[in-house]
């Protein structure tokens, strides 16, 4: 799979895909004899994983560390698990914060709705007075 195909498939720019590779987030992408990237299923899997994790806000550094551990084989299983648990905890806190803010916006929007009723009434009243 070429870089532009992957780019379209995941809606990630080719520049970003090259950047990911450069920083060690996407190691060992195969090349065609002429040097062009040729993504295989394993690469696609990583990209899909990275897209999901980045979409939730995990820092690239953390993902690089995870990839690095993965490449070191079975001896890092425990470390990888700990890393994921730690990130999950951070995401749980983020979820809480986002939910709390949504609740607050719900309330504020509701107040605006109800504040507009007397506001519109006032406008109507003024219209009547003018007539």
Q: Segment 61-90, which members bind DNA (CB under 7 A)?
A: 61
33, interface contact from a second copy, DNA, none, CB < 5-8 Å by kind:
DNA
Q: Given candidates 15, 40, 86, 120, which one binds DNA under the rule CB under 7 A?
A: 15
| 41-49, Cβ contacts within 8 angstroms, sequence gap of 24 or more | 43/1, 43/6, 44/1, 44/6, 44/9, 47/6, 47/10, 47/12, 47/17, 47/20, 48/10
Binder to DNA among 10, 24, 27, 60 (CB under 7 A)? 60
φ and ψ at 51, to 5 degrees? -60, -45
Interacting residues with a second copy between 13 and 72 (CB under 8 A):
52-53, 55-58
Residue 103 contacts DNA per CB under 7 A: no
């Amino acid at each position: 799979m070429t870089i532009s195909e992957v780019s379209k498939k995941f809606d990630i720019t080719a520049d970003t895909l090259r950047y990911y590779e450069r920083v060690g987030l996407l190691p060992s992408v195969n090349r065609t004899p002429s040097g062009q990237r040729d993504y295989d299923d394993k690469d696609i899997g990583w990209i899909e994983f990275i897209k999901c994790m980045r979409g939730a806000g995990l820092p690239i550094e953390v993902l690089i560390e995870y990839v690095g551990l993965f490449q070191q084989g079975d001896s890092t299983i425990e470390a990888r698990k700990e890393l994921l648990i730690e990130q999950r905890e951070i995401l749980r806190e983020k979820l809480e914060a986002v939910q709390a803010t949504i609740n607050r916006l719900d309330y504020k929007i509701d107040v605006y709705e109800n504040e507009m009723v007397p506001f519109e009434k006032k406008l109507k009243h003024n219209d009547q007075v003018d007539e």
